[in-house]
Structure formats: structure tokens, C-alpha cells
Amino acid sequence: MTNTVRLKAIRAAAERIQGIVHRTPLIDVSEKAQCPLMLKCENLQVAGAFKIRGAYNAIVQLTHECPGRGVITYSSGNHAQAVAYAARQLQIPAVVVMPETAPRIKVNGARSYGAEVLFEGVTSIARRERAEAEAQARGLMIIPPFDHPEIIAGQGTVGVEILEDCDQVSTVYVPIGGGGLIAGVGAAVKQMQPGVRVVGVEPEGGAAMCASITTGKPVTLERVQSVADGLLPVRPGDLTFAHVTEFVDDVITVKDEEIIQAVKWLMITAKLVVEPSGAATAAAVLFASGGARLAHQGMTVAVLSGGNITHELLVSLFAETDRSSCE
């Protein structure tokens, strides 16, 4: 059986990343939301997303073992930027493999931190295979985007901060792509306060974790499509799936229309710029047709996982909601 990450490892990660990452704010928007709700603002994190936590935690340990050796990763965007940023801090070269459809803001972000950017296909599997080939040919160390214990431990520091900053948490909503964030947050929360519920959120068009839970093992989706580009791995990791099985109470899905509503609400009402992937949790709490907003009691925390969104996409999403309201 796969070993899951323990709280000791998450606390050790918190010490390693201190001074590199931001301790992001936990903002109370209960009055605006008309329900008990706080937002964990990883959209305000270094490189614009939570990914720097796991990336730095993993890379700093590997570079101690193999000084000067470069790193490579495969990512739809946010992990690519995090690896690039961490590598620059540690003064080592970084290569990132991104999909041909990667948002320009995420490509430019990775390049601005000094990474070499390669493009490969449109699926997470295609990116991983290219990264593995490049790593072997060029002697680079692979930094996986989610399915690695040190990545999960780093992401788990989000959960530690939530419980340290609020002692009345009832439920934590976490977006799911490959599962690294919810694996870490779930592990931290359940080992610190087992009574707190942990709920994962996926887009309907990329619900690989839901399908895997139903099947009882990680499965690969034939097709994924959603406005939430950061939540579209076609398969969860074996290790992240094991964490979800052990630590997560429920996994739900949201529609793209609900995600778009959440992006707009967060900007207009909460004054926060959040990308669609990061807004999935707010969509679940505030707009999901299943009534997630009314299904919980006590203080709910929604993790806003990232804020890397172009102004062009923001404009198009606002236009989309305006059209919908007129129909």
C-alpha cells in the first residue's frame, strides 16, 4: 500500500519554504457571501499560485543531493512557473514542458523566471513523456507537478496555515487537478483536526478524480475540456489518489458556467483576481446547482489556488456572463 505523507513532513516543509513563499491571507467574506465563508488567497502567492510551496520544497532537497544539476517539469502552467522561480532562487537551470494550448500569461511567467520552455501536445501524458525523454537525454532531474511526496508535503502547508489562522473551520474546499493540493491539504487538516471536512472540487469536463473514486483506482479520461485549464490532467496520480482515499470526505463537480460566475463574483464583490481553476471552490460554495452553499454548517474555507489570468480572458468571461444573463 502507498504510504501517505505525515504531518511531520508537512511541518518540515513549512520550515524549508519559510522566507521563500508568502503566508497568504485568509479573508472573511461572510457578509458579502451571505454565508460563513473565508478565502485562502493563494492567488496572491509567489508566481501567482500555490505551486511554489511544493516545487521549492522538492527542489531544495534534490539540489542538496545533486548540487548544480538542472531540473525539468511538465505542467499546464502554474507548476511550470513555480519550478522556474524556485530554480532561479537556487541558481540552477530549469526546463519546462507546457501544452501547445498553455495560456500566454503562464508561458511568459515561466520564461520571465529564466526557464527554457518546450511545447508538447495538449494532454498531461504527452507532456510527461516529453519531459522524461528530455531528462534522460540531458541529465536533468524531473520535478513532477503533483504525484511526489515532497510536492504533496509542500502543498500541505496551505492546510496548516488555514487551521492556524482560524480555529472555527468546519469545511475546507480545495480544487483538484492532479490532486497534489488536496492531497497535501487533506493530509494536514485530517491529522491536525480530524473533525474538519475536506471537499475536493473538479470541473465537470475534467473530473478524473471523481471517475477514479467511482472505479476504485486511478483512471485515465479520454477527453477533458473546461475553462479551468489548470484542473485538466487526464489522470490523477497514484499517490494523490491514495491521499484522497484516506483524507478527503467528498469530491464534487462544478459546471463551467458556475466557475465563470465565481470568477466574476470574486473580482467585483471580493475585489480579488482569480483564474478559473482557482475559482472552482468559490463556484462550489456560492453557485453550484447541487446546493453546496446550503449543505454545510460552521465556517467554510475555499482555497483560491491561483490568479494567473490574462485581461483578455477576464473580458471574455465577463462577456459570457453578460450574454447568459440576457438569455
pLDDT band at 205 (very low <50, low <70, confident <90, very high): very high
**Average model confidence (pLDDT) across the chain:** 93
The one-letter amino acid code at 164 reads: E
Residue 198, classed as helix, strand or coil, is: strand
Q: Do domains 7-49+149-326 and 51-142 have the same CATH topology?
A: yes
pTM for this one? 0.93
**65-79, 190-204, 208-222: the lowest-pLDDT one:** 65-79
| Domain spans of the chain, in order of start | 7-49+149-326, 51-142
| pLDDT, average across residues 164-175 | 96
pLDDT of amino acid 280:
98
Q: What is the CATH number of domain 7-49+149-326?
A: 3.40.50.1100
What are the beta bridge partners of residue 300?
A: 37, 171
**Residue tagged active-site, from 76, 226, 277, 305:** 305
Out of 40, 51, 106, 190, pick the active-site residue: 51
pLDDT tens by residue, 62-99? 877 777 789 999 998 899 999 999 999 999 999 999 99
Give catalytic status of residue 51 as yes or no. yes
Confidence of residue 289 (pLDDT cuts 50, 70, 90): confident
| Catalytic residue flag (residue 264) | no
User: What span, in angstroms and rounded, lies between the C-alpha atoms of 190 and 248?
Assistant: 8
| CATH architecture, domain 51-142 | 3-Layer(aba) Sandwich (3.40)
| pLDDT score of 290 | 59
Give Cα separations from 207 to 51, 175, 178, 225, 247 (angstroms). Answer: 20, 11, 10, 10, 18
The pLDDT-based confidence of 291 (bands split at 50, 70, 90) is low
